[in-house]
């Protein structure tokens, strides 16, 4: 059993704290947000993450997991041997990562620490931040107490964060002090994963490069999808055929309305920013971002192709979250698509199983509906924006009957073109040529 303090109770911090406790460690999770900590102390979660609540409750009950707003209590109370920094690094000016929360955490750690510590950075931070954190901690210490900084980037997907923590493809640790990295490695031994130890900057870069590569895979298949549409090929089959090649792999080759969320957009932009500042010209990454932006606009182009003028047209969005199994709408394609449609003069409605309360705050003009059938009633078109499982099993004949016009733009390719046309829909997927004659149209 090790004693660990985790700073930050967002989805990364909370998952890390709860899972480390579940591995038998004693963990204190610190967040400056009093409301969040009060909720957590009652065993309630401020975010929607499958399986996490149960782990949090179980470990609180076993006295392995506690929550506090006090850095002193979190770091010195246990006392902690490791302090994980897992605070947000939102997008700042010009795509540069905003490090104010990391700075605040490092300052507070320096101010309160009364014993030697290994500081583990989990937040996604620009390359070189590990050294910067060390400087801040040192500058805030009242007396010199030894500490070591280790970078340990997270690769947790929202919606499967607990599974990803417990079943990692690899653990990356970067430090200038190998012994410190090896101590952190001990925490992960029960997971029986590959552990890679490297230097600080390389570990930080692995995180950016991994996310940028995944975003590239998606933008690549989206570009292929657009070419498929022009040539009458089916991108789903193309992705399957490509995926059999082990060097390529099938994952992250689902064409659609593009990538969003709290990580990919900000991380790709931050990497571009770092590159440009250091005199590089990241052509590929810039194209990856541009393709993603256009992918959302394409939905509106497709609607205009069918409906012509969107003024007064009632368009229903199936899904608002940036992907299924989360209520997160950060950088969600739905936000941009809704904005574009409103600008065209359309009446925009939406339904999402969990993300509507979040979306209502930023999209006051969008009418939220109780279910997909209410959404379909009188609609001129429906757009599948998020691939929630429940959308895959809708009563489509009923949906068609309820709609004013049976137009469906399937932004996630969850339906089969042939079946949809047999049901009488005017259907457009993404990159799904269907009649082998070089056209996606009837």
Question: Residues forming the annotated binding site for NAD(+)?
Answer: 31, 36, 89, 124, 158, 266, 330
Going by the annotation, the residues of the binding site for substrate are 155-158, 207, 252-256, 260, 323
Both tokens assigned to 107: 């300052």
Q: Which is nearer to ligand UDX, 62 or 209 (CB)?
A: 209
323 sits near ligand UDX (criterion: CB under 6 A): yes
Q: Which is nearer to ligand UDX, 157 or 421 (CB)?
A: 157
| CB of residue 12 to ligand UDX, shortest distance in Å | 8
172 sits near ligand UDX (criterion: CB under 6 A): no
DSSP summary character for residue 93? G
CA atoms of 332 and 217, how far apart (whole Å) = 18
Q: Exactly one of 132, 163, 188, 252 binds ligand UDX (CB under 6 A); which one?
A: 252
| CB of residue 258 to ligand UDX, shortest distance in Å | 6
How far, in Å, are 237, 245, 341 from residue 378 at the CA level? 34, 45, 17
Q: Exactly one of 180, 263, 346, 383 binds ligand UDX (CB under 6 A); which one?
A: 263
Catalytic residue at 280?
Answer: no
CA atoms of 149 and 177, how far apart (whole Å) = 8
CA atoms of 131 and 232, how far apart (whole Å) = 52
157 sits near ligand UDX (criterion: CB under 6 A): yes
330 sits near ligand UDX (criterion: CB under 6 A): no
- Asked if residues 219 and 194 have their Cβ atoms less than 8 Å apart, the reply is no
163 sits near ligand UDX (criterion: CB under 6 A): no
CA dihedral (398, 403, 404, 405) in degrees, to 10, reads -100
154 sits near ligand UDX (criterion: CB under 6 A): yes
| CB of residue 276 to ligand UDX, shortest distance in Å | 22
CA atoms of 297 and 33, how far apart (whole Å) = 37
Burial 32-49 (b: 16+ CB within 10 A, else e): beeebbeebeeeebbbbb
- Asked if residues 85 and 45 have their Cβ atoms less than 8 Å apart, the reply is no
Catalytic residue selected from 5, 19, 263, 369: 263
49 sits near ligand UDX (criterion: CB under 6 A): no
Contacts to ligand UDX by CB under 6 A: 154-158, 211, 214, 218, 252-254, 256, 258-264, 322-323
């Amino acid at each position: 059993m090790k004693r660990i303090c985790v700073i930050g109770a967002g989805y990364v911090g909370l998952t890390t704290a709860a899972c480390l406790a579940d591995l038998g460690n004693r963990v204190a999770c610190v967040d400056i947000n009093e409301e969040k900590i009060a909720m957590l102390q009652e065993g309630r979660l401020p975010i929607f993450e499958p399986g996490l609540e149960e782990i949090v409750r179980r470990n609180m009950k076993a006295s392995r997991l506690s929550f506090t707003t006090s850095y002193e209590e979190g770091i010195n109370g246990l006392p902690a041997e490791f302090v994980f920094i897992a605070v947000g690094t939102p997008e700042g000016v010009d795509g540069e990562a905003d490090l104010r929360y990391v700075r605040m955490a490092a300052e507070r750690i320096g101010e309160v620490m009364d014993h030697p510590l290994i500081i583990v950075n989990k937040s996604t931070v620009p390359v070189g931040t590990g050294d910067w954190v060390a400087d801040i901690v040192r500058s805030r210490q009242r007396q010199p107490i030894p500490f070591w900084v280790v970078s340990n980037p997270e690769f947790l997907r929202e919606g499967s964060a607990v599974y990803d923590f417990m079943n990692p493809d690899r653990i990356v640790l970067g430090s200038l002090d190998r012994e410190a990295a090896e101590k952190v490695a001990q925490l992960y031994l029960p997971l029986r994963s590959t552990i890679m130890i490297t230097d600080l900057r390389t570990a930080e870069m692995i995180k950016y490069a991994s996310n940028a590569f995944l975003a590239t895979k998606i933008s690549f298949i989206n570009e292929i999808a657009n070419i498929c549409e022009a040539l009458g090929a089916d991108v789903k089959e193309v992705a399957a055929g490509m995926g059999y090649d082990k060097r390529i792999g099938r994952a992250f080759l689902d064409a659609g309305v593009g990538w969003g969320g709290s990580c990919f957009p900000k991380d790709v932009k931050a990497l571009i920013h770092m590159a440009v500042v250091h005199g590089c010209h990241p052509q590929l990454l810039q194209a990856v971002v541009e393709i993603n932006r256009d992918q959302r606009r394409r939905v509106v182009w497709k609607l205009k192709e069918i409906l012509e003028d969107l003024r007064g047209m009632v368009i229903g969005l199936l899904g608002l979250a940036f992907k299924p199994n989360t209520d997160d709408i950060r950088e969600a394609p739905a936000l941009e698509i809704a904005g574009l449609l409103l600008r065209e003069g359309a009446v925009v409605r939406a339904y999402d199983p969990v993300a509507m309360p979040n979306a209502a705050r930023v999209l006051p003009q969008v009418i939220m509906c109780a279910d997909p059938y209410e959404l379909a009633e009188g609609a001129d078109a429906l757009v599948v924006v998020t691939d929630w499982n429940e959308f895959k099993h809708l009563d489509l004949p009923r949906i068609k009957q309820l709609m004013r016009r049976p137009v469906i733009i399937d932004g996630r390719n969850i339906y089969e073109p042939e079946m949809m046309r047999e049901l009488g829909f005017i259907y457009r997927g993404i990159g799904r040529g269907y009649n082998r004659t070089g056209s996606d149209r009837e």
